[in-house]
Each structure stands twice: as structure tokens, then as C-alpha cells.
Structure 1
Amino acid sequence: MTLLEVKKLKKVYTSRLGTNHVQALSNVSFSVEEGEYVAIMGESGSGKTTLLNIIAALDKPTSGEVVLNGISSQNLKEKDISKFRRDNLGFVFQDFNLLDTFSLQDNIFLPLVLSGKSYDEMNSRLKPIAKKLGIDDILQKYPYEVSGGQKQRAAVARALITKPQLILADEPTGALDSRSSDQLLDLFNEINEEGQTIIMVTHSIKAASHASRVLFIKDGEVFHQLYRAFMSQDEMYQKISDTLTIIATGGVKNE
């Protein structure tokens, strides 16, 4: 079943005086099936972060629309957008976005608190997630007391606890060492295998090679798509590397 439809997205940023125009996205269309794991790659300035922000309803397109499970975020009123995000989306960021004055548990609970959930419900949701992520023994610690990998696991727990239709990850391994990165990517594989849909923006070929599909963005458009199919992770890694080389050297778009 199609979960997400991105239709002819265009985004133009205009300076305050209206004299300069920067086109971040020119014509982006693709769909994501329920349970897919999609990585988005591209050079800096290609438009991939703008694309993620529009999917997350953090930014609005100049034209086009994003439809999640039949709901167009462009038709939502301003007062409904925050609730739409809380109810449908889970976020994992490069810099974790944890509040240092909150324990890990309270950071994880935060989106449910904002949704008005009871403590008993929050606690019952957290227990299996924390155990799965291996953070059940550090929930009372504060972000400054734990490692980067543990912070990111707490951030993943915060994303999962709302039971989102879609997890959006923005460079999730960017602030992690290689061991913690590997652990996080293995974790993403596990939750994807359990049916969670994931879209991940990344510069890392290794991270992208875990996905079932990679979208390459160039000059504000989808330049190419690469499906894993029956490829091994090593084969996927090489295909991604070859495609990025073609992009960097100005190769011809491969339909």
C-alpha cells in the first residue's frame, strides 16, 4: 500500500527584498510504500534537506503537495500541523535534539505528554521499546551523562513511542562513532523488518546501503533511483558509490 506520495514539489526561496530567488526543488515526484526503507542522497545544496523538511510539514512547497496516507499536509491549517506531526511522524536528528534538563525517560515521553497521554499509557509504551533498544537501565540518566550512541537510541525511542506511520531521519549517524553508527543502522534494519517505514537523508554510503531503495537528488530533482532487490550490502554500497561518482562528474541522468 502506498503510504506517502510526493507530487511535483517545487520550492523557491526568495530574499526579503524579493530580488534573489533560489530554487531548492524544481520537480520532485515519488511514492513510498508502507514498510519501505528509503535513503535520500545528494551533494550539499542538492535539495534533500529541503525535501525532508517539506515531507515533515516543517516547510511548505511553492507548488506541489505531500500526501501521507491520504492526508495532504498542504491542506492542513496552521493550528493542526503540530498535531499532524505528533500523530503521524517520528523524527531522528543528527544532533539528537534532547533536552539536557530532562532525563532520557522524560525526553522520550515528551511527544506523548504534548498529546495528553496518561502516565500509565506512556510507561506501558516505553517499557518494550526501551528494552529493545537496550536503554532500559539508563532511563533516569540525563543526556550529558550518556554516550552519543545512547543519546541516539533515546532519540529513536522518542520517535517510536508515538507509533508513527513514518520515521524521518536526518543524518542520524552523522554525530556517532563507527561502532555506534553500526549499532544504529542495525537497529533501523530491525524496526524496518518489523514493518516501520523509514525515510533517511544521509551523506553516508554505508548508511544508505542498509536501505531498500536510494533516491539521488541533483539540482532539485530526482536524478536516479536505486533498488536493492537481491543485492548484498556490499553490492549496494558499490552501486551507490558509482552513482555518486556519476553525479559528481556531471553524468547523464539515468531513467
Structure 2
Amino acid sequence: MFILEVKNVKKVYTSRFGGNQVQALSDVTFSVEKGEYVAIMGESGSGKTTLLNTLAALDKPTSGEVLLNGQNIVSIKEKEISMFRRENLGFVFQDFNLLDTFSLQDNIFLPLVLSGKSYEEMNSHLQPIAKKLGISDILPKFPYEVSGGQKQRAAVARALITNPQLILADEPTGALDSHSTEELLRLFTTINQGGQTLLMVTHSTKAASHASRVLFIKDGAVFHQLYKGSMSNEEMYQLISDTLNIMATGGARNA
């Protein structure tokens, strides 16, 4: 069952006065199954950030469709899009996007507060997630009082608390040290094994090697994809590295 379907998506940016056009995405087509863990990789300027923004309903494509559980998010009205994102998508960012004036608990609660949930309901959602992520004892603390790894765990909890159909992660290990990166990647694997669908944009070969599939984006199109299958993380790492080398040296497309 496909939870996400991207069909013939194109994105063309036009300069303010219409003189120049830049094609950021060129006929991107792929799908993600429910419960899958997919990484998207590509060089800077390849279009992966534009693609992520399109999947997050933060930017509309010039043409094409993006279906989340059969609903075309491209056609959702502007006044309804914020509610759609809150109810269907979870987000994990490189820089955590936590509010320093809020405790970790209040940061995690924020999506539910915006949806009008009661404290009792929010707390009942939070406690099992906080226990699973190992952050129960630091919930009263503020972001500036905890480590980068703990901040990212709080950000993951915020993404999970609405029980989203899809979690979108944008360079989630980019601001973490090696130890915190290992912890987060193990955590993502555990969350995915629990049935959560994950789509992660990353420059990190190490991070991508933990995914069940890697999509490579080049010049705004899907260049190639790798399925992990029964491979170890180390074997997947080597295959990803080889593919990135082919891309960097102008190898032929093999989608």
C-alpha cells in the first residue's frame, strides 16, 4: 500500500520580472509504501530541498501530483494547509526548531495545543513517547539546558505526538556529534520498526545507510535508487558511496 505517491512533479522558478527560469524539479516520480524508511540524497542544488518542501506542502509544484494516502496535497486550499500539515505530517529539522522560551514538554505539546487538545489528552500522548525516547526526566528543562542529542529527541517526540502518516526529516543528524548521530539513527530504526513511515533528506552516507531505500536526485530528477534488502549498514554504506561517486563523475543515469 502506497502512503505517498509523487507523480510527474515539476517545479520551475521564475525571476521577479519573468526574465529567467530555473527548473528545480524535472518530472519526479516515485512512491513510498506505508511503513517504509526512505532516504533522499543528492548534491547541493540537485533539487532535494525543493522536493522536500513540496512533500511538506510548503511549496506547490508547477505541475504534477503529490498524493498522501490518496489525497492530492497540491490541491488543498491555502487556508486549510496548516491544519493538514499538523494532522498528517511530522517534521524533524537539522536545527531542532525548538522555542527557547518553552520547556521541552511545551515544545512537544505545541502541535496538539494548536489543534485544541486538552492537557490531559496531550499528556496521555506524551508519556509513552517520552519513555520510548528516553527523555521523561528532562521534559521540564529548556532547550538551552540540554545537549544537541536531547534536543533532537525532543524534536522527534514533537513529530510523533500527532501520530502522523509520514515523518519528514531534513538533515536530522547535521547538527549532532557522532555519538548523538548514532543514537538518533538507532532511534529512527526503532520508530520505523514500530510501523512509522519515514522520509529523510540527508547528505550523510552513514545516515542514509540505515534506511531501507535510498533515492538519488540529480538535476531535479530521480537518478537512481538502492534497496537495502538483507544488506548490513556497512554494505549499504559502500553501495551508496559508489553511487555518489558515479553521480559526481558524470556517470549515466540508472533509475
TM-score band, normalised by the shorter chain? over 0.9
Question: Does 2:143 correspond to 1:143?
Answer: yes
**Mapping for residues 21-60 of structure 1, pairs under 5 Å:** 21-60=21-60
- C-alpha separation between the residues in 2 aligned to 1:158 and 1:9? 29
**Secondary structure at 1:29's aligned position in 2?**
strand
Structure 2 residue aligned with 1:185: 185
Counterpart code for 2:110: L
Partner residue, 2:156? 156
Once residues 74 and 147 of structure 2 are traced to their aligned partners in structure 1, the CA distance between those partners, rounded to angstroms, is: 38
Q: Deviations over 1:212-247 (max 9, x none)?
A: 000000000000010001111111000000000000
CA distance in 2, matches of 1:137, 1:229: 37
Q: How many residues align?
A: 255
Instruction: Tell me what 2:18 maps to.
Output: 18
Residue by residue over 1:197-221, the C-alpha shift from the partner in whole angstroms, topping out at 9 and shown as x without a partner, is 0000000000000000000000000
Aligned to 1:61: 61
Give the counterpart letter for 1:217 in structure 2: I
**1:251 maps to which residue?**
251
TM-superposed deviation, 1:254 = 1.4
Which residue is 2:92 aligned to?
92
Aligned alpha-carbon RMSD (Å): 0.5
Aligned residue in 2 for 1:83:
83
5+ long unaligned stretches in structure 1: none
Q: Which amino acid aligns with 2:31?
A: S
| Deviation for aligned residue 1:126 | 0.3
Counterparts of 1:103-142 in structure 2, within 5 Å, are: 103-142=103-142
Tell me the CA shift for residue 186 of structure 1.
Answer: 0.2
CA distance in 1, matches of 2:123, 2:232: 39
| 1:163 positional shift | 0.2
Instruction: Tell me how far apart the structure 1 counterparts of residues 57 and 5 of structure 2 sit (CA, whole Å).
Output: 13
1-structure distance, mates of 2:23, 2:200: 22
| Partner SS state of residue 26, structure 2 | strand
User: How far off its partner does 1:65 sit?
Assistant: 1.1
Residue 167 of structure 1 and its aligned partner are, at CA, apart by 0.2
- Separation in 1 of the partners of 2:28 and 2:254? 15
Taking only the aligned residue pairs, the percentage that are identical comes to 79
> SS state of the match for residue 17, structure 1?
coil
TM-score with structure 1 setting the length: 0.99
Describe the SS at the equivalent of 1:137: helix
* d(CA) in 1 for partners of 2:81, 2:158: 19
Distance in 2 between residues matched to 1:118 and 1:71, nearest whole Å: 28
* Corresponding residue SS for 1:196: coil
Mind listing any 5+ residue stretches in structure 2 that lack a counterpart? none
Alignment deviations for residues 166-202 of structure 1 (CA, whole Å, 9 cap, x no partner):
0000000000000000000000000000000000000
Q: Tell me the residue number matched to 1:175.
A: 175
Question: Which stretch of structure 1 is more off in the superposition, 170-179 or 16-25?
Answer: 16-25
Deviation at 1:70, TM superposition (A): 1.1
**TM-score between the two structures when normalised by the length of structure 2:** 0.99
Cα separation, 1, equivalents of 2:175 and 2:22: 29
- Residues 42-85 of structure 1 show CA distances to partners (whole Å, capped at 9, x for unaligned) of 00000001001000000000000100001111111111100110
1:8 match: 8
Residue 225 of structure 1 corresponds to 225
For 1:91 and 1:202, locate their aligned partners in 2 and report how far apart those are by CA, in whole Å: 14
Distance in structure 2 (CA, Å) of the matches to 1:100 and 1:17: 40
Q: Secondary structure at the match of 1:175?
A: coil
CA drift at 1:15: 1.0
Structure 2 distance, partners of 1:21, 1:74, is 21
d(CA) in 2 for partners of 1:179, 1:68: 34
